[in-house]
Amino acid sequence: MIRNRLNGRCDWPGTEFVVDRYPEYSVLMCRPVKNHPNYVCWPRAYCVTLFCRNLERLEDVLREDDFVDWTQRVAFFAVEKKSVSTALLKRFHELGSIEPMWESDHCGIVHLLHPSHLVKSELPEGFRFGELLEAHAEQINREWKYGTPDSLPFVQTVLRNKFPSSGIFTSDGSRLVAYILYMTDGSMFNGYVDPEFRYRGLYQAVNYDLACKVVALGQPSAFLYVIEDNEASLRSYAKLGAKRVDPAEWCVDWQSFTPPPPVE
C-alpha cells in the first residue's frame, strides 16, 4: 500500500498511515482519515489494516484513545492470525464486544504468484481478454461472494481508478465470463468464472494475466488469500504453480468490532 502511494498508483483516497513511533516503529496502520469526503469503504465499514513487529506494543497502542476509533464499527482486514488477530480479540473483549467475521479455526492461506513459477494458461477458442470498466461493477459486485449493496461503491472505485485487473470475454465481447481484481492492500481478490464456462482453464488464465500485470508495476510478487476450507481454489492455485505459505508460519484473519450498546 505504501509503495503504491509513493509511486502514485492504486492509492486509496481518504486514508492515512500512522505508526506508534518514528522511525523505529513497532506498529503500522492504515486507517480512514476522519470525515474525509473522498473516503470509500473498502469493502465495508471503517476499515483498518495493521502490521505489527511487537505484540506487546500493539496491545498498548490499541488502548490509546487516538489510534483506532472504537466508537463505530471497525473492520480489520487480513491481519496476521496468530498475533495481531489474538490481540484484537482481546481488545474487543475489554471493550465489551466480540464479533469475529470468521470461525476461530479458519484462516486465509497466503499464496504467492510470480510469473516465473506459474504455469501459463492459453485461452481456449471462443474467448479473449478485455478491459474491465466501471460499467462492469454491478455484475462483479453481484457475483462477488461477499458483495452487498454497500460494497458496490468500492468495486466502482477500483474499476474507475484503473487498478490492475484481468477479464475474459466471449470472443464477440458481449459477455464477461471470468475476472479477478486487485485489492487496495496489494493482493488479488474476487476471482470468478461464470458457472457456464468453468473447467476450461479460464480461472488460471486470469490469475496468470493479473500476476504478470502486478509484477510489471514493480511489486515483488502478486499474492492472494484463500480460505483454508475452499478446496476448489486451493487445488486451482496448486495446479497454477502458486507458492503456498505455510499457515504455521503466516496466515491471515478478518475481524470486525461492533461497539456495545450504550448503558441506559
Q: Give per-residue pLDDT as tens, 227-262.
A: 988 998 999 999 999 999 999 888 998 888 988 887
Q: Which residue from 146, 133, 150, 161 is spatially nearest to 191, judged by alpha carbons?
A: 146
- 171 to each of 127, 129, 130, 175, how far by Cα in Å? 4, 9, 10, 9
DSSP symbol at 71: T
pLDDT for res 38: 87
Q: How far apart are CA 181 and CA 187, in angstroms?
A: 9
Q: Whole-prediction pTM value?
A: 0.91
Residue 260 grid cell: 456495545
- pLDDT digit string, tens, across residues 86-111: 899 999 999 988 665 555 557 899 99
Provide the strand spans (E) within 102-220. 108-113, 127-130, 165-170, 176-182, 188-193
pLDDT for res 117: 95
pLDDT for res 44: 62
Q: Quick check: helix, strand or coil at residue 186?
A: coil
- pLDDT digit string, tens, across residues 75-85: 999 899 888 99
pLDDT for res 98: 60
For the chain, the average pLDDT equals: 91
